[in-house]
């Protein structure tokens, strides 16, 4: 059982996580015309972003490699009577994504757990329809102290957002937004960036 399986039932009890998801969703609404899109929320966790967006779009596919997290999404959807949030187990490290299926790919605080950043973003782009958007929300470069439970499953201590921007450009994604959007305060401050690109 992964630590995310172990933490799933208590994940939403931390107010900062819930508010961070709301902040991402609100920012995406200001940048992207949400209406009848099919959205992929990758590394969806307990579905905080998925549930924030589901009323604005056609479907949200919540993908994660934690069965515990996906079970929490299913419980929440059933309790709320939500039928357009779909759960799907997926491990990006050894499986491709469906091609040209989604209008928006969003991933929040997940990419730093994935070893090959460029391969991840390439797969994300390939999952997009023409004119689709990709939104990545993650830590800026840090000293390895962010994860209080250790770094066993951490592949990157955050990112230089300019390097992520260059990968977007190499993949022919038009960067429509990039900035620091949040500071997570623990023993120190950890900046979090959001970058949004368009598949032109």
Contacts of 165 (CB under 8 A, 6+ apart): 175, 178, 195
Contacts of 143 (CB under 8 A, 6+ apart): 157
| C-alpha dihedral (96, 97, 98, 104), degrees to nearest 10 | -160
Residue 15's pLDDT band, with cuts at 50, 70 and 90, is: confident
Q: Which structural domains are found in the chain, ordered by start?
A: 3-199 (3.40.50.150)
DSSP string, 109-160: S-GGG-S-HHHHHHHHHHTEEEEEEEEEEEEBS--S-S-TT-STT---S-B-
Condensed to tens digits (0 to 9), the pLDDT of residues 65-91 reads 989 899 999 999 999 999 999 999 999
- CB–CB of 119/97 below 8 Å? no
The angle formed by the CA atoms of residues 47, 113 and 12, to the nearest 5 degrees, is: 30
- Indicate the SS3 state at residue 100: coil
Residue with tokens 């439970």: 149
Condensed to tens digits (0 to 9), the pLDDT of residues 96-135 reads 899 999 999 999 999 999 999 999 999 999 999 999 999 9
The angle formed by the CA atoms of residues 101, 181 and 63, to the nearest 5 degrees, is: 30
Please state whether the predicted TM-score (pTM) of the whole model is above 0.75.
Answer: yes
Higher pLDDT, 160 or 12: 160
Residue 168 parent element (H or E):
helix 161-170
């Amino acid at each position: 059982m992964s630590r995310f399986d172990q933490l799933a039932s208590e994940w939403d009890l931390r107010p900062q996580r819930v508010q961070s998801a709301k902040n991402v969703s609100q920012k995406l609404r200001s940048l992207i015309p949400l209406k009848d899109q099919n959205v992929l929320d990758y590394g969806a966790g307990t579905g905080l972003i998925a549930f924030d967006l589901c009323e604005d779009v056609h479907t949200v596919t919540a993908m994660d490699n934690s069965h515990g997290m996906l079970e929490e999404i299913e419980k929440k959807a059933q309790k709320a009577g939500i039928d357009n949030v779909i759960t799907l187990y997926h491990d990006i490290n050894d499986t491709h994504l469906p091609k040209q299926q989604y209008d928006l790919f969003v991933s929040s605080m997940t990419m730093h757990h994935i070893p090959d950043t460029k391969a991840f973003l390439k797969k994300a782009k390939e999952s997009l329809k023409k004119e689709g958007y990709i939104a990545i929300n993650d830590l800026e470069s840090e000293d390895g102290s962010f994860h209080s439970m250790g770094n066993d499953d951490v592949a990157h201590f955050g990112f230089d957002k300019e390097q992520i921007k260059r990968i977007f450009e190499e993949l022919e994604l038009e960067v429509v937004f990039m900035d620091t959007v949040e500071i997570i305060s623990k023993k120190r401050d950890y900046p979090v960036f959001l970058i949004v690109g368009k598949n032109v």
